Structure 1
Amino acid sequence: MARDQIDMTPLQSRDELVTWFEAGIKPPSEFRIGTEHEKTPFTLEGRQPVPYEGARGIGALLEGMQLLLGWEPIMERGNIIGLYDVTGGGAISLEPGGQFELSGAPVETVHQTQSELMAHLAQVREIATPLGIGFLGLGMTPSWSRSQIPVMPKGRYKIMTNYMPKVGQYGIDMMYRTCTVQTNLDFSSEADMVKKLRVSLALQPVATALFANSPFTEGKPNGYLSFRSEIWRDTDNARSGMLPWVFEDGMGFERWVDYALDVPMYFVKRGDTYIDVAGSSFRAFFEGRNNSLPGERPTLSDWANHLSTIFPEVRLKRYLEMRGADGVPWDRLPALPAFWVGLLYDNQSLDAAWDLVSHWTAQERQALRDDVPRFGFKARIKDRYLFEIARECLKLSHAGLRRRNHVDHSGRDESRYLEPLERILDSGRTPAEEMLDKFNGPWGGSVEPVYQEYAF
């Protein structure tokens, strides 16, 4: 979630950075599920991007949501840029191109995730529909060029926008044109964190294929099933990727700290001002060698903010974030937390998943990740299609959710939320392939129908 942290205690030692992560350790009885999803706003009339300003803009949408929910506004230089629930619930924030993000509250079951999602969508509709705004559930905007998309008034995005073209060809696309759904999960010890991180990194391409949902750019097929996933391959390789060192001996919180210290920073926030320090490392800042803030030492807030600008396929904060999936229509969103909860929150399934991936090499994991955006289930690792591995993972997830045995009011456990993924596997095709079939068939070579069929 992109709300900047505030804790201005200067940091004295590397140990404090490690301690920051250790504070995330929880007993399994306190494990929670956090789900974040982004959706692209569009004007119901004309299907254009929605600007921030104006009576029917994103700012007005947020103001309406604030009145409806009673949440606290997040302000920056007089503009409302988000909302948060002071009772420890969720938050709403804006991605750079106006993508509307719900960061869900930490909940105990996928049933609660589903309830939260349905409430959120009802609330958003109530405010958005009179403003003439709809929302799209795709991994990438299907018809707009970069230049058409408005820029939200957030200081951190200005700095990132200037820096991105220096480090990759697709960073601007990532910021302004993509949407994701991710789930955030807990760990009970350093060893548990390492195991979950390894399993989920290795299997992130499975989620990419199951949720592949971005085959169009500017109105035409782009040659990929998840172009959003392809974008991440050339956004900024110093802060993204499959982290091969996570699988080496000695992996733990300290190793992640050392990695994060060397990732180039974007900004330092002082009061309401974002200071551009793009390209210099946190390590240099830590040693008092940041040219923009000579002699100044970072605070815990600076550390937390910096960690939120690292974008690997799975990200460690005080929990683990699964980052491989495209944004999808509302009925498929709870499938992502269900998939990962079943695999990672049940020890039997976690062990079996580790057995599945433990003999893969770093090169094989990387090749699979590189192939999945284009080939989906037809990507291969060793002598197996990803399709077979996805099927196995879904079985393990299903079994894990059955064993968790959290039942809803009608006696169904959380495995019910895997049904959309089971249908995808039964068809043998990724969602993107299904969409391409429509494009080449009933849609008559137009992406316009997505604004109805894939809208929230």
Structure 2
Amino acid sequence: MSESTSGCTELPTPISEAEVEALVRGICFKTGPPRRLGVEVEWLVHELRAPQLPVTPERLDAAYAALRTVPLGSALTVEPGGQLELSSPPAASLMECVGTVRADLDAVRAVLREEDLALAGIGHDPWQEPRRFLREPRYDAMEACLDRTGPAGRAMMCTSASVQVCVDAGYEEPGTLGHVRRWWLAHQLGAVLVAAFANSPMAARRPTGWLSTRQLRWAEIGAGRAGGPPLDADPRGAWARHVLDAPVMCVRRDDGPWEVPEGLTFREWTRSRAPRPPTREDLDYHLTTLFPPVRPRGHLELRMIDAQPGDDGWIVPLAVTAALFDDQEASETAYRAVKPLAERAAGAPAPHNPLWRDAARYGLADPELREVAVACFRAALSALPRLGATTEVTDAVAAHQDRYVLRGRCPADDLLDRLSGTDRPGKPSHGKDIHP
């Protein structure tokens, strides 16, 4: 708060329903030539030599204190369960993005090794039950809110990790790179990305029956919090309505616990102005509490990809997504390839439709998803040299295509093979042998 010239405290200005709609339309889709790319990589943090054992909060505190002294090009944050996230700055090219994040990860891993800790690339912790590491009013309120829909919210907060790719919203004008088509493509292609990169088949040391348990957990949270709006020819209007009709997670306070209202939408809050009038700052915060699989934040944030195995596994979904969105020829191929999938969505928003459920449950064992994934990977491999990708990056994408996509598999299948002992002859079935 600020002081007026008369010495009185100036109260924040309430925001109206019409102002919310205008602001959301203006800030969430910023159109122009696709020039920037970004990635956010989340990791589970585990014991270096025994990843199935829990890491104490004290050891995580010490490790993260050490990491805060390391200069990084990416922003480093900690998720509620102690997961580590690196968020790249906007990059002018794929290779600039890869170079920045890879260097940062090398530095992070070096610090963690000193603490006998390591990063694990997997979409849902196969060993640990949800346990909150951060104790802050935001996460207290989030936990209380999400608990109303069941245990999935705590799993999302504390035991999940992802690769989130950020692409520009696209041109204002219609066309291959127009913002309306890119918004639609993101929602149809998103199911293919779920299937091709599914890497979370277990929870509590047992298979869940889903290849992307992480995506299942998001769907279980509910459409108001983790769903997207219906797709139409006006993404700005659809998103603005979704924001207004989404439930408010919490009403923040300067002192004491934050209030967690039940069933109060932001639209109703602007009308009732209770328990206090909402402000522009409340709208900005509300936008951060909505978790659709495609989130418009000026750019488009694709949030549906599981964390990937290996030190550099995250590069493959980043490269494939960049190629399919920012190369005109590849984007057109992807658009044509995913078009038949729209019928399976049955008109329901992602991820709460049959297409997304099948992608999360069956991965590329689904014949139609496999066929589309093959077409998209081939288009991406053709486009990557045009985007300046190195041979190392194109080879990594080709290796993923050969190992998984062409065989109707995904990284989750490898984890299940290790659990069953079928990845090599004579290997015993033992949950502790699962290593991301």
Counterpart for residue 207 of structure 1: 193
Structure 2 CA distance for aligned equivalents of residues 195 and 388 of structure 1:
21
| Cα deviation, residue 356, structure 1 | 2.8
Q: Does 2:369 align with 1:367?
A: no
Does the CA contact (< 8 Å) of 1:208 and 1:372 recur in 2? yes
**Does structure 1 conserve the Cα–Cα contact (< 8 Å) formed by 2:246 and 2:266?**
yes
Q: Which of 340, 364, 372 matches 1:377? A: 364
Q: Secondary structure at the match of 2:70?
A: helix
Q: Measure the CA separation in 1 of the matches of 2:255 and 2:76.
A: 19
Picking from 141, 149, 157, the partner of 1:167 is 149
Choose the corresponding residue for 2:41, options 30, 37, 58.
Answer: 37
Matched position secondary structure for 1:343: helix
Provide the C-alpha distance between the structure 1 equivalents of 2:166 and 2:257, rounded to a whole number of angstroms.
27
The verdict on how the C-alpha distance between 1:188 and 1:222 changes in structure 2, with shifts beyond 3 A counting, is closer
- CA gap of 1:9–1:34, structure 2 versus 1, over 3 A, is farther
1:418 is matched with 397
Contact 1:202 1:357 in 2 (8 A): yes
Residues 250-329 of structure 1 correspond to what in structure 2 (within 5 A)? 251-269=234-252, 275-279=258-262, 280-291=264-275, 293=276, 296-299=277-280, 301-329=281-309
2:168 matched to 1:186?
A: yes
Q: 3-state SS of the aligned residue for 1:34?
A: strand
Aligned residues: 406
CA contact (8 A) 2:94 2:389 kept: no
SS of match in other structure, 2:258? strand
Please say if residues 260 and 282 of structure 1, whose CA atoms lie closer than 8 Å, have aligned partners that are also in contact: yes
Q: Give the match's secondary structure for 2:244.
A: helix
SS of residue paired to 1:332: coil
Equivalent of 2:321 in 340, 352, 355: 340
Give the equivalent residue in structure 2 for 1:129.
113
Amino acid at match of 2:123: G
What residue number does 1:76 align with? Answer: none
- Name the structure 2 match of 1:221: 207
- Residue 124 of structure 1 and its aligned partner are, at CA, apart by 1.3
The aligned residue for residue 126 of structure 2 is 142
Aligned residues: percent identity?
26
> Take 2:336 and 2:318, find their aligned partners in 1: how far apart are those partners?
22
Mapped to 2, the partners of 1:346 and 1:309 lie a distance apart of: 32
How far off is 1:12 after superposition? 4.9
Query: 1:267–1:274: 8 Å Cα contact kept in structure 2?
Result: no
Shift in Å, 1:429: 1.6
Compute the RMSD of aligned alpha carbons.
Answer: 2.6
Is 2:325 the counterpart of 1:357?
no
Cα distance between partner residues in 2 of 1:42 and 1:213: 17
Which residue matches 2:220? 234
TM superposition shift of 1:322: 0.9
C-alpha distance in 2, partners of 1:188/1:324? Answer: 20
- 2:69 counterpart (67, 70, 87): 67
Read off the aligned partner of 1:265 and give its amino acid letter. Answer: V
For residue 419 of structure 1, what is the amino acid of its counterpart?
A: A
**In structure 2, do the counterparts of structure 1 residues 355 and 265 end up closer, same or farther at CA, with 3 Å as the change threshold?**
same
Partners in 1 of 2:99 and 2:384 — Cα distance?
18
Q: Kindly state the Cα deviation for residue 272 of structure 1 after the two structures are TM-superposed.
A: 7.8
Shift in Å, 1:198:
0.7
* C-alpha distance 67-230 of structure 1, shift in aligned 2 (>3 A): same
Q: Secondary structure at the match of 1:183?
A: strand
**CA drift at 1:263:** 0.6
One-letter amino acid matched to 2:273: R
Runs of 5+ unmatched residues, structure 1:
1-7, 70-84
Q: Deviations over 1:66-109 (max 9, x none)?
A: 2222xxxxxxxxxxxxxxx7xxx531112111111111111122
Residues 1:416 and 1:269: Cα distance change in structure 2 (over 3 Å): farther
C-alpha distance in 2 between matches for 1:107 and 1:315: 19
Using the TM superposition, name which of 429-438 and 354-363 deviates more: 354-363
TM-fit CA distance, 1:417? 4.7
Distance in 1 (CA, whole Å) between partners of 2:152 and 2:209 is 16
Q: Do the aligned partners of 1:96 and 1:176 also contact (CA within 8 Å) in 2?
A: yes
Kindly tell me: are residues 186 and 21 of structure 1, through their superposed partners in 2, closer, same or farther at Cα, counting changes over 3 Å?
Answer: farther
Q: Which residue is 1:4 aligned to?
A: none
Q: Secondary structure at the match of 1:140?
A: coil
Equivalent residue for 2:133, pick from 151, 164, 173: 151
Q: Shift of residue 213 of structure 1?
A: 0.9
In the alignment, is the contact (CA less than 8 A) between 2:194 and 2:212 conserved in 1?
A: yes
Task: Assess if the C-alpha contact under 8 Å between 1:33 and 1:337 holds in 2.
Answer: no
The one-letter amino acid paired with 2:354 is A
SS in 2 for 1:157: helix
Distance 1:420 1:286 in 2: 52
For the residues of structure 1 that align with 2:312 and 2:106, how far apart are their CA atoms? 13
Cα offset for 1:309?
1.5
Deviation at 1:41, TM superposition (A): 1.1
**Counterpart position of 2:76:** 92
Compared with structure 1, are the counterparts of its residues 63 and 350 closer, same or farther at alpha carbon in structure 2 (3 Å cutoff)? same
Aligned residue type for 1:178: S
